Amino acid sequence: TLSFTVDVSKASCGCVVAAYLVPMRANRERGSCGDFYCDANRVCGVGCSEIDIMEANSRAFLSTTHTLEPDCYGRGSGVGGANHAFSASAYGPRGSTIDTDKPFRVHAYFEAAAADPGTLQDMAVTLGQSGRSLRFSPAPRHCLERHSAAMSRATLVLSYWSAPSANLSWFDQPPCAVDDQDACGESVRISRI
């Protein structure tokens, strides 16, 4: 289990707080960013497997797995865009289960196959706050299995970024009607990792 506390209260529509795993330690190809960073979107020019434990703001929360194969690229769940693992009223400012005006815990649980401890077979994400929780599984087993080798040498990456509405409709529309990337707080807090 990888757990942390996050405060997304200042990250509204148009902002993305991310915690994800990529196999940087296994990557030997230097990218255009000058280091060995890689991800599924080839941000620095090098593609690799990616597990997004959290892409969140105060209105949306997604967990997604990305392999470089099309059938398992972008398989995920949560709330936001076309995802409805729980309702927008359960997660958000003054949410009934997770009130994003306050910090909450994120737990990403990874389960290996009993017969083969090197094979990832399940991932469950739980959001918790004040004794209440939301739990969901972001990806099917066959997609998680494809991450096994890459995630055995994973690096945790934390990022905070923003984009205009046209670029984030997959993420937070709905529940957001419009994204305002200029309204993002200057910083967010991830703690107790």
**pLDDT tens string for the chain (193 positions)?**
999 999 999 999 999 999 999 999 888 999 999 999 999 999 999 999 999 999 999 999 999 999 888 888 888 899 998 899 999 999 999 999 999 999 999 999 999 988 998 899 999 999 999 999 999 999 888 889 988 888 888 999 999 999 877 788 889 999 999 888 888 999 999 999 9
3-state secondary structure of 56: strand
Q: Given this model, what pLDDT does residue 150 score?
A: 83
C-alpha separations of 141 from 29, 63, 76, 107, 179 in Å? 29, 15, 12, 19, 33
Tally of CA atoms within 13 A in the half-sphere of 63 that contains its CB = 23
Return the pLDDT at 162: 92
What is the model's pLDDT at position 92?
A: 97
Return the beta strands (E) in 57-191 as ranges. 61-66, 73-80, 83-84, 91-92, 98-99, 104-112, 120-129, 132-136, 155-162, 189-191
Bridge partners of 22, per DSSP, are 155
5 and 17 Cβ atoms separated by less than 8 Å? no
How high is the pLDDT of residue 136?
95
- Predicted TM-score (pTM) of this structure: 0.93
Please state, in angstroms and rounded to a whole number, the distance separating the CA atoms of residues 51 and 63. Answer: 8
Residue 30's pLDDT is what?
93
With beta carbons less than 8 A apart as the criterion, state whether 3 and 19 touch. no
* The two three-digit tokens of residue 67, written as one number: 């392999």
Which tokens hold the place of 187?
């910083």
Q: Is 43 exposed, middle or buried (0-12, 13-18, 19+ CB in 10 A)?
A: middle
pLDDT at res. 90: 97
Give strand pairing partners of 135.
126
Q: pLDDT at position 82, please? A: 87
Cα separation, 50 vs 144, whole angstroms: 10
The tokens of 81 are what?
């865009």
Asked if 11 and 186 touch (Cβ cutoff 8 Å), the reply is no
